[in-house]
Amino acid sequence: MSYSLGIDVGATFVAAAIARTTTVEMFAVGNHAGVAPAVVSRGDDGSVATGLAARSQLTGSPERAARAVINRLGDPAPVLLGGEAYEATDLVSVLLRDVIHQITKTQGKPPEQVVLSHPASWGPFRRALFGQAARRAGLGRATMVTEPEA
């Protein structure tokens, strides 16, 4: 059965919902109330982890982790993870990619449509960067709506 997917990448948490013909339900992307921490971290091998896997870095090696990267879209200063510089757009892309991967794995196929929510205060520049992050995550042309619309 086909489905659509809604994703909200917030400053604190990432949440997702799956919509089918007659139902909409939250998808448990984390282990607490269906949300995952909006955290990214850099491992010793250079890989970037997200969510629960990344949250442990906040206490053990806080210089290797960052939260609220969605708020950094459009900031010319890079996000530093373990001394390495990353564009916020790339880190938001990793957050989106990991959610899509997790959901596709459990649903057995990718969603037919993806809707991403963003703050209503974002102008064209930040919305364009968010769209760029979505494309880098492999979403192609996701629909974007403001958080109040979602």
Tell me: the pLDDT tens digits for 64-115? 999 999 999 999 999 999 999 999 999 999 999 999 999 999 999 999 999 9
| Mean pLDDT computed over 129-137 | 96
Burial of 127 (C-beta count, 10 Å sphere; 0-12/13-18/19+): middle
User: Which amino acid, one-letter code, is at 31?
Assistant: N
Cβ–Cβ under 8 Å, residues 20 and 6:
no
Dist. CA 5–CA 19, nearest whole Å: 6
Q: What is the CA radius of gyration of the chain?
A: 15
Burial grade of 133 (CB within 10 A; 0-12, 13-18, 19 or more): buried
